[in-house]
Amino acid sequence: MYVAVKGGERAIDAAHAWLAEERRGDQAVPELSVPQIREQLKLAVNRVMAEGSLYDPDLAALAIKQARGDLIEAVFLIRAYRTTLPRLGGSVPVDTGAMACIRRISATFKDAPGGQVLGPTFDYTHRLLDFALLAEAAPATPSAPAEGSATAPAVVPHITEFLNRDGLIETQPVSDAPAPDLTRTPMELPASRALRLQALTRGDEGFVLGMAYSTQRGYGRTHAFVGELRIGMVAVELAIPELGFAVEIGEIELSECETVNQFTGSKTEPAQFTRGYGLVFGQSERKAISMSLMDRALRWRELGEDDSGAPAQNEEFVLMHADNIQATGFLEHIKLPHYVDFQSELELVRRLRRAALAGAGGQDHA
């Protein structure tokens, strides 16, 4: 228990003033603008949008600036802002098959129709610090002349469709059942797959990554291949009741991962490949892959697999600890005044020590 305390206003004001100065840093260094953060720290912006569960690059960049680069603090700011917005509706489910892909790779099919498109990736970089970026006014790299195909962006089919034709992979039951929303109704367990995906896509990237990694190391086996990873822009459509039809309200960038998992069959299902799915705001492929591994690991019950007792198979463990704002809230509350709690514990420890010392003393004299 913590108690309200009064006083300290002057100290708090001084602390906030200092925080503002620290945020600005050395005045001799030019101030960072929000558009600079949005454009040049785009992957941080993407992470804040994904975990803040609100797609708005300007606001995410502002939050990063305000939070001095503390991304969880920035996510907190976005989550808090989100609660002030009226909900205007829910979109038509996005069609990732119609994505304008800037990146699309498959680890299962080298000759995937539509080809392997690397896009702006860190893969194949040498992970050596580039000291050219350290130099003031680094020369702007001229944009590489495109390999002038000048063809209209083609719609690239999902790769798992090909396995589907042979019945080698589980089919995705099509439905338009309304999805549960954990921002409206507290999460209840056991959770549906739709609810798990919502929790995972807004979950902390580090947590979801760590859990996914644990499955690869043998704690809840998911022998996963990246069937397909794609990144690109997708149109968002909203049905407007007063118009009686749906209109496109904008475009968002998404990362989508479909893993293909070996499955030797169970009591209820024949041997075939199964799927894990990840879909995340922005360019966040590490998160998308992690999410699809976790999606697959948590499906053990419906696939009739054994519970090996691994943390990654424990829905309660994964879903209740994935949210970094919930975690931060509870973790950091212990720095609030707990003077009364602590006072009583102090009394207790003193009493126990007195009793123990008295007892020990008594024995010595016996």
Restricting to residues 143-202, name those near another protein by CB under 8 A.
143-144, 146-155, 158, 160, 172-183, 193-195, 197-198, 201-202
Q: Which of 221, 275, 286, 287 binds another protein (CB under 8 A)?
A: 275
Nearer to another protein, 281 or 300 (CB): 281
Q: How near is the Cβ of 28 to another protein at its closest, in Å? A: 32
Q: What angle do CA 249, 254, 256 make, to 5 degrees?
A: 135
Task: Please identify which residue in the block is written with the tokens 């920035």.
Answer: 74
Is position 269 an interface residue for another protein (rule: CB under 8 A)? no
Shortest distance (Å) from residue 4 CB to another protein? 32
Q: How far apart are CA 275 and CA 291, in angstroms?
A: 12
Round to whole Å and give the CA distance between 139 and 231: 28
Q: Would you tell me how many other CB atoms lie within 10 Å of the CB of residue 147? A: 6
Q: Does 86 bind another protein (CB under 8 A)?
A: yes
Decide: is 117 part of the binding site for another protein (CB under 8 A): yes
Task: Choose the binding region for another protein from 13-21, 36-44, 64-72, 95-103 (rule: CB under 8 A).
Answer: 95-103
Any contact of residue 258 with another protein (CB under 8 A)? yes
Least gap, CB of 186 to another protein (angstroms): 14
Q: Nearest CA to 199 among 224, 172, 220, 181?
A: 181
Among 190, 206, 250, 270, binds another protein (CB under 8 A): 250
**Residues in 220-249 that interact with another protein by CB under 8 A:** 233, 235-238, 240, 242-243, 245-249
- Residue (95 or 188) nearer to another protein, CB: 95
DSSP conformational letter for 311: G
Nearer to another protein, 238 or 320 (CB): 238
- Closest to another protein by CB, 2 vs 162, is 162
Residue 210 engages another protein in binding (rule: CB under 8 A): no
Q: Where does residue 117 rank: exposed (0-12), middle (13-18), buried (19+ CB within 10 A)?
A: middle
Interface with another protein in residues 291-330 (CB under 8 A): none
Residue closer to another protein by CB (options 193, 333) is 193
Q: Considering the complex, what minimum distance in angstroms separates the CB of residue 172 from another protein?
A: 4
Report the distance separating Cα 242 and Cα 172, nearest Å. Answer: 33
User: Shortest distance, CB of residue 192 to another protein, whole angstroms?
Assistant: 9
* Residue with tokens 């800037």, as numbered in its chain: 102
Can you list the pairs that 267-274 forms with residues at least 24 positions away whose Cβ atoms lie under 8 Å?
Answer: 267/304, 268/303, 268/304, 269/170, 269/303, 269/304, 272/167, 272/168, 272/169, 272/170, 273/163, 273/168, 273/169, 273/170, 274/169, 274/170, 274/299, 274/303
Three-state SS at 105: strand
Between the CA of residue 77 and those of 49, 59, 61, 110, 129, what are the distances in Å?
A: 11, 9, 11, 43, 32
Nearer CB in complex with another protein: 88/135: 88
Residues 13-52 that bind another protein (CB under 8 A): 49-50
Cβ atoms of 220 and 214 within 8 Å: the answer is yes
Kindly tell me which of 97 and 361 has the beta carbon lying closer to another protein: 97
Residue 198 or 222 with smaller CB distance to another protein:
198
Q: Which is nearer to another protein, 128 or 144 (CB)?
A: 144
